[in-house]
Amino acid sequence: MLLPSGSLFFLRIVHGRRSKPDEGIYTCVARNYLGEAISRNASLEVAILRDDFRQAPIDVVVAAGEPAVLECVPPRGHPEPTVSWKRNNVRVSAKDERISMRSGKLMISHTRKSDAGMYVCVGTNMVGERDSDPAELVVYERPVLVRRPVNQVVMEDDTVDFLCEVHGDPAPTVRWRREEGELPRGRFEIRNGNSLRLLRVSVHDEGTYTCTSENSVGKTEASAMLQVHVPPQISTKPLDQIATQGRSIRFQCGTTGNPPPAIFWQKEGSQMLLFPGQPSSQSGRYSVSMSGELTITDVHSEDSGFYICQAISVAGSVLTKALLEVEGGPSGRIPPIIRQGPANQTVSRGATAHLHCRVIGGSSVEISWAKNGERLQGRNTRLTLMENGTLQIDSDSGMYTCEVSSITGESRWSGMLTVRASAVTRVSEFIQLPGPPQKPVVTEVTKNTVTLTWQSNPHEGGAAVTSYIIEAFSQSVGSTWQTVADHVKQERHTVVGLFPNTVYLFIVRALNSYGLSDPSPISEPVRTQDGSPPEQGVDHRQVQTELGEVSIYLQKPVVLSPTSTRISWAVARQSRYVQGYRIFYRTIGSSWSVQDVEASSDHSSILEDLHSNTEYEVKIRPYFNELQGHDSLMVMLRTPEEVLSAAPQSLSVVQLTNSSSISVSWEPPPHNTQSGDIQEYKVWCLGSGVEQESQINRTVDGAVLSILLTGLLPDVHYTVVVAAVTSLGVGAHSQPVRLKNEIDTKNLTIAEQITSIIRQPAFIAGLGVAAWLVLMGFSGWLYCRHRRRKQLGHYTTSFAYTPAGETPGQKSDFQTMHTVTFNFSHSKKNNTSFTANHQV
C-alpha cells in the first residue's frame, strides 16, 4: 500500500520457504512534468526463527575433573540465531575460565560436583528465543582413599586390622585380595567400613594385602605389607652327654622362629660366646656350625658342665642347656649325686606327668623308682622309664622316689604327684632354675662345725635366688648325701652337728621359686677336729644311717582357731634311735621357727601363737641328740580371719537444729587391727526408757562412714555406738556417745508443737485417764437418771462441757460449749411426754 506521503506500507509480509515475494530491493521513483527522481536502493529482508533445533543437547555423564561437552545446533533462522546456555534456569556465565562456548557447544574443562544439573540450549535472534529440551549433566566422583592401609609387623596369634576408607559417587565397592594367594579361610572378616580384620595370624599369612575400590567412573587400589613375627623356639633340644676324655662330642640345637633367630652357645659360668662360623683361633676346641650344632673336640675334664644354647631375634629369645659330664673326674669317687630329682606336681586326670631323675655319677649308675615306699616294676602299663631316668606316669597319684645307686653309694629324691579332676599344671623348665653356685671353700673348722663360703651363679633362672641348701657326704657316716643346712640366706654359712675327726665333702644348691639348682662343684675334702669319744654304747654312724631311712608324711593340718593349728604325721619307717620330731614352721619368705616334740605313739602337736589370716609352711624332721634325719614334704596351711580387735574411731554425733534427726560419722579401725576386709558397719541408737520398737538399729556398707538417723523422741536420753563387721562377725563396739534429744518449742510451728505434745508419754497417759473418768461419770449419770425419773415433774437444766485436759477458764484454739434444756411434764393418768431443746 502506497501511502499519501509516499511511504510504502506492507499490511502483511508474505514469506514462505519456497517463495518470498515480498523480499527484494525497493527503489522510490518520484515523477512530475519536469521529470523523475530515483531514490537509492532499499532492501527488505524478513527475519525468521524456526522452532526445531537442528541438534538438541543430550545427557552427559562425566567424572569430576574430566572435561564435559554439551553440543547444540540452534533452529534455522534469519539472521542466524546466537546460542547461549542455562543451567537450572540460570544463565551460564562465561566469566568462569573453566567454561567456554564455541559454535553452540558448551565446554567445561575441569568439571566439579557443583557443575551437575539440567542444561538448556537457548537460540536467539531478533525474532525471539527458542529453548531446547533440557539435558542433564551428571558429575560422578572417582573413588578416593580417605584412609589407606599401612604396613604392619605383629606377633603370631595377634589380630590385625587393615583400614581402607574410601569416598566416591556413586558409592564405590571395596574388595580385598592377597597378592600371594587367598585370604585366610575362616579367619578374616570385613567390618567397620570395609576394613579387613585377620584373626589369629600365623607366619603363613605374611604377604601383601590390597584394597580395591571401584565405581562406574573409576577405580583405585592401595596395598600394605603384613609381617608376622614368631618368637624363637627350640625345636631340637640338646641332650645331656657323658664322654670320656679325648673324645669329640656334638650338641644339637634346632630352632624355629620368624625371622630366623641367630644361635650362639655359652658355657655356664664362662664369658666366652661361641657363634656360628667363628674362627678356630678364637674358639679353640669349640666350634658352632651354621645350623647351630656345637662341637667340642678332645674333651678334657674341665669341659664338664652345662652348655647353654641361646636363640635370639627381634621377636624374642629362648634358652636351653645340656650337661656334659666327663668321666674320670671327682664324680667317680663319691656316691652318685641327683642333679635334678622329681618335683611336686599337680596334674589333671588323664594327663601325663614326667618325673625327672638326672644323675651325676658316671655310666655305672642304676636308677630305679619307688611309689609310696614300694619298688615299681616294669610290668605296670601306666609307667614308662625312659633311658635318661625320667619316669612317665599316666594319672597315678602318690609319693614317687628316685633311687640312684652305684658301687660307691646311693641317693634318693622324692616328689609328690597329685591328680585332680581339674588342675593347672605348672612344670618348671630347667632353664628357669638357677645356675649352680661356685665351688664352696672351707674357711674355718672345729670338731663339730665347718664354715663354708661360695659365690653365686650369675644365671638366676626365671626368678631371683631366695636361699641355699648345703649337702654333705662322709664315707665314715653313710653312703649317701645328707642335707645339713637349708634356707641359708647368705653365701657364708657354718654347718653344725658334724662328727669329730671325720672327713666331709660339701655341695651347695641355689633355690628360687621354680626349684633347686644343680649342685655346685664338690668342695675339697675337709676333716673336722678330733674330739671326745662318742657316747658309750651308741654307734653314731648307725644312728645317722637309720635316721636317714625314716620317712615321715605330714597330714593335712587341722585349724583350731585363728592362732592355733594341730599338726599330725605318720611314720612309714620307724627307728629305735628317734628321740623326737622337730617341727619347722614359718610364714612364706621368713626364717624358720622350731618346736620339738618327744617321740610317742600320738604323732601330733599343736602350734600356737600363730598370726591370723596368714599362710604358713610346715615340715618335720626326726632327730637323735645332734643328729637329724630327712625332712618330710612341706605342707601349707592358712589361719582364718578373726573378728576385729579394735572399734571404729572418732565417733561423732551431731543433732540437727529443731529436728528429731542426728548425723552420725566415724573413722575405720586402725589398719593393723583389721583381720580382713570390713563388709559393713552396724549403728545402734538406744534410748533409755523407750520401748524396743522405738530403738534404732541401722546397717551401712563397709565403704560408708556416716549415716543420718531420724525419728528420735524428744527429751529422751540416747546412746550411740558403732561396730565393724567382717566375714567372721561383728567386731568391738566403739566408745558410746550419749545425748539428750532436746527440741526448742519457741521456734516451732503450731503443728510441730501439737505433734510434740501428742507424742509425750504424759499426754498419752493423761488422755487415757480422762477418757476413763468421762466413761465412769457418764455411767453414774445414767444410773442416777434412771432412779429419779419417776420423781421428776418439770425442770430445766443447763450444763457446760469442757474437754478433758483443759482447766476452767482456759482458752484454746477450739472450744465447744453445750447448753441443753429439757422440759418434762408428768401425769400419772396420762402417758408421759417431754420435749427437749438442744442448743450448741
Q: What is the mean pLDDT of residues 462-466?
A: 88
By percentage, how much of the chain surpasses pLDDT 70?
82
Quote the pLDDT of residue 327.
65
Quote the pLDDT of residue 546.
80
Quote the pLDDT of residue 834.
36
Quote the pLDDT of residue 812.
39
Q: Is the peptide bond before 79 cis (omega within 30 degrees of 0)?
A: yes
The mean of the pLDDT values for the chain is: 80
Q: What is the mean pLDDT of residues 785-813?
A: 48
CATH topology of domain 1-46: Immunoglobulin-like (2.60.40)
Sequence-ordered alpha helix ranges (H) in 389-499:
none
Scored b (16 or more CB within 10 A) or e, 677-687 reads ebeebbbbbbb
Q: Could you give the 3-state DSSP secondary structure of residue 75? A: strand
Quote the pLDDT of residue 514.
82
In this predicted structure, the answer to whether residue 50 has a pLDDT above a threshold of 80 is: yes
CB 93 within 8 A of CB 108: no
Q: How confident is the model at residue 364 (pLDDT cuts 50, 70, 90)?
A: confident
Q: Which CATH number fits domain 330-427: 3.30.1540.20, 3.40.50.720, 3.40.190.10, 2.60.40.10?
A: 2.60.40.10
211-224, pLDDT tens digit by residue?
999 988 888 999 99
706-733, pLDDT tens digit by residue?
998 888 887 788 889 998 887 667 788 8
Quote the pLDDT of residue 541.
63
Most confident of 137-141, 643-647, 778-782: 137-141
- What sign results for the dihedral spanned by CA atoms 707, 713, 714, 718? negative
Q: What is the mean pLDDT of residues 36-40?
A: 90
Query: How many Å separate Cα 221 from the centre of its chain?
Result: 40
Quote the pLDDT of residue 531.
56
In this predicted structure, the answer to whether residue 445 has a pLDDT above a threshold of 80 is: yes
Q: What is the mean pLDDT of residues 397-417?
A: 83
Residue with cell 614300694: 374
Q: Could you give the 3-state DSSP secondary structure of residue 751? A: helix
Q: 3-state DSSP: the chain helix, strand, coil percent, rounded to 5? A: 10, 45, 45
Quote the pLDDT of residue 822.
38
In this predicted structure, the answer to whether residue 70 has a pLDDT above a threshold of 70 is: yes
Name the CATH superfamily, with its identifier, for domain 431-533: Immunoglobulins (2.60.40.10)
240-273, pLDDT tens digit by residue?
887 777 788 999 999 999 999 999 998 877 778 8
575-607, pLDDT tens digit by residue?
878 888 889 898 876 667 888 888 876 788 889
526-582, pLDDT tens digit by residue?
888 865 444 444 566 677 778 778 888 888 888 877 888 889 888 877 787 888 888
In this predicted structure, the answer to whether residue 492 has a pLDDT above a threshold of 90 is: yes
In this predicted structure, the answer to whether residue 510 has a pLDDT above a threshold of 50 is: yes
List the end-to-end C-alpha distance of the chain, in Å, as a whole number: 126
Pairing of strands 503-512, 383-385: unpaired
Q: How confident is the model at residue 330 (pLDDT cuts 50, 70, 90)?
A: very low
Q: Could you give the 3-state DSSP secondary structure of residue 529? A: coil
Q: CA-to-CA distance for 308 and 432, rounded, in angstroms? A: 12
Q: What is the mean pLDDT of residues 349-365?
A: 78
List the domain boundaries for the chain. 1-46, 48-140, 148-230, 240-328, 330-427, 431-533, 550-640, 649-745, 768-839
Q: Which range has the worst mean pLDDT, 46-60, 193-207, 339-353?
A: 339-353
Q: Could you give the 3-state DSSP secondary structure of residue 669? A: coil
Cell of 241: 652327654
Q: 550-640: what CATH class?
A: mainly beta
Domains 48-140 and 330-427 share a fold: yes
CB 418 within 8 A of CB 347: yes
Quote the pLDDT of residue 211.
93
Quote the pLDDT of residue 385.
80
- Which run of H or E residues covers position 585? strand 580-587
Q: Which range has the worst mean pLDDT, 100-104, 776-780, 794-798?
A: 794-798
Architecture of the domain whose range is 148-230: Sandwich (2.60)
Q: CA-to-CA distance for 756 and 718, rounded, in angstroms? A: 18
Most confident of 183-197, 508-522, 771-785: 508-522
Q: How confident is the model at residue 796 (pLDDT cuts 50, 70, 90)?
A: very low
Quote the pLDDT of residue 341.
85
In this predicted structure, the answer to whether residue 455 has a pLDDT above a threshold of 50 is: yes
Q: What are φ and ψ of residue 271, in 5° steps? A: -90, -10
In this predicted structure, the answer to whether residue 409 has a pLDDT above a threshold of 80 is: no
Would you give the DSSP letter of residue 277?
A: T
Q: What is the mean pLDDT of residues 683-694?
A: 77
Q: CA-to-CA distance for 486 and 498, rounded, in angstroms? A: 15
Q: What is the mean pLDDT of residues 766-778?
A: 85
Q: Check residues 145 and 406 and name the one with the higher pLDDT.
A: 145
Quote the pLDDT of residue 281.
58
Report whether CATH 2.130.10.10 matches the domain 48-140: no
Would you give the DSSP letter of residue 2?
A: B
Distances (CA, A) of 232 to 276, 289, 317, 669: 17, 18, 6, 53
Cα atoms in the 13 Å half-sphere on the side-chain side of 153: 7
- What sign results for the dihedral spanned by CA atoms 528, 530, 533, 535? negative
Q: What is the mean pLDDT of residues 672-682?
A: 75
In this predicted structure, the answer to whether residue 746 has a pLDDT above a threshold of 80 is: no
In this predicted structure, the answer to whether residue 420 has a pLDDT above a threshold of 60 is: yes
Q: Check residues 488 and 303 and name the one with the higher pLDDT.
A: 488
Would you give the DSSP letter of residue 702?
A: T
Q: CA-to-CA distance for 184 and 205, rounded, in angstroms? A: 7
In this predicted structure, the answer to whether residue 277 has a pLDDT above a threshold of 50 is: yes
Q: Which range has the worst mean pLDDT, 452-461, 538-547, 611-620, 731-740?
A: 538-547
Rounded to two decimals, the pTM is: 0.37
In this predicted structure, the answer to whether residue 208 has a pLDDT above a threshold of 90 is: yes
Q: What is the mean pLDDT of residues 172-194?
A: 86
Q: How confident is the model at residue 618 (pLDDT cuts 50, 70, 90)?
A: very high
Name the CATH superfamily, with its identifier, for domain 240-328: Immunoglobulins (2.60.40.10)
Residue with cell 527488505: 44
Architecture of the domain whose range is 649-745: Sandwich (2.60)
In this predicted structure, the answer to whether residue 804 has a pLDDT above a threshold of 60 is: no
Helix axes 750-758, 761-788, angle to 10 degrees: 70
